[in-house]
Structure 1
């Protein structure tokens, strides 16, 4: 089992879901965000940090006893890059960091292990991103040597801008599992996933 620190982003406003916070909706009998923590903890043996913002108290309550550590992003209203920066700062000196989303309930521990194995077998000094048909997925793997670079620009911290402007530091791994590419943003998406697949996730 890989020793990896995981950062799960859970600070967003969940606007497209309407009145409900998608991360608190049930998946496999627990709130979605707790399910995601369970998946990452099964896949790795390092720390799991959950970056909170919107409804931080409710997210924290959902994670009570899960083993995850919550980190509050006071600037969550400015977008996901600030949450990535907040998580990277919390991760400290961890050698390898996984950065993932809190709303990918089809992602499995096996998916994460496959990505980590691909990263280890390739150039571990580069950022590893799952991809299929030119579509990028999540989580991504960030080596320690690049974390300072991701935090260097206070106007645009995080991974999105950096990975697009510095392709020499990025490697893509063909991963077909839908868990890497499926998130839950709308009531319709949640209903469809729950009806078709979510109750079978263990």
Structure 2
């Protein structure tokens, strides 16, 4: 399948508190650490190296990604929350490309799901942020037009996507995409057990 000229940012800096003593991104999925699995999925749809933003247990995450071809960016402010990691990734990404910003803990996502999202974005208003939606639930990843990247960095107190997309609905479009991978994060031991048992971790 052809690859898209899109920059991919995968967030892998979180504290993983809800998983307990284990870092969820290092748990095995299909014989690979979860973050390595996710980078592999994203790498199938982009012509560029996948950018991974690290923070918590950064050396371990980096070791899990050794040889993957990912570009690793460390967010020194990761303990302040996900918006800082989004901002870190945005600053590291090419300025002239649309951006696909995803999470490191969505192993149900497939490359086909990602292609469906990109296709929906290209068929819609390419100047708007594209967000998957199913039963009024927002999903991830999302697509950011290159022209809006600077807008997401304007507010130093709350950079990133969450506040901006809610404050500026005129810059957002939702796409009806029902694939469960968009909406399933592996945040808890129960969700991870359900994943391994073949059930939905939602």
What TM-score comes out, normalization by structure 2 length?
0.96
Give, in whole Å, the separation in 1 of the partners of 2:199 and 2:25. 17
Aligned to 1:108: 110
Is residue 10–residue 102 contact of structure 1 (8 Å, CA) maintained in 2?
Answer: yes
43, 46, 69: which one pairs with 1:44?
A: 46
SS of 1:51's equivalent in the other structure is strand
Q: Deviations over 1:40-75 (max 9, x none)?
A: 001221221000000000000000000101100000
Higher helix share: 1
Is residue 49–residue 87 contact of structure 1 (8 Å, CA) maintained in 2?
Answer: yes
Aligned to 2:12: 10
SS of 2:44's equivalent in the other structure is helix
Higher relative contact order (CA 8 A, sep 6+): 1
Q: Deviations over 1:133-185 (max 9, x none)?
A: 11000000001100000000000000000000000000000000000000100
Q: Deviations over 1:108-147 (max 9, x none)?
A: 0000000000000100010000000110000000011000
1:19 aligns with 2:21: yes
Q: 1:58 to 1:94 in 2, by over 3 A?
A: farther
Aligned to 1:33: 35
What TM-score comes out, normalization by structure 1 length?
0.96
168, 171, 174: which one pairs with 2:173?
A: 171
Matches within 5 A, 1:1-202: 1-196=3-198
Structure 1 residue ranges (4+ consecutive) displaced by more than 3 angstroms after TM superposition: none
- CA RMSD across the alignment: 1.0
- Structure 2 gap segments, 5+ residues each: none
Is residue 14–residue 55 contact of structure 2 (8 Å, CA) maintained in 1?
Answer: yes
Is residue 8–residue 50 contact of structure 1 (8 Å, CA) maintained in 2?
Answer: yes
Give, in whole Å, the separation in 2 of the partners of 1:108 and 1:24. 19
Give, in whole Å, the separation in 1 of the partners of 2:75 and 2:46. 24
Give, in whole Å, the separation in 1 of the partners of 2:57 and 2:194. 25
Give, in whole Å, the separation in 1 of the partners of 2:198 and 2:26. 19
Give, in whole Å, the separation in 1 of the partners of 2:123 and 2:199. 31
Matched residue count: 198
SS of 1:141's equivalent in the other structure is strand
Give, in whole Å, the separation in 2 of the partners of 1:29 and 1:138. 24
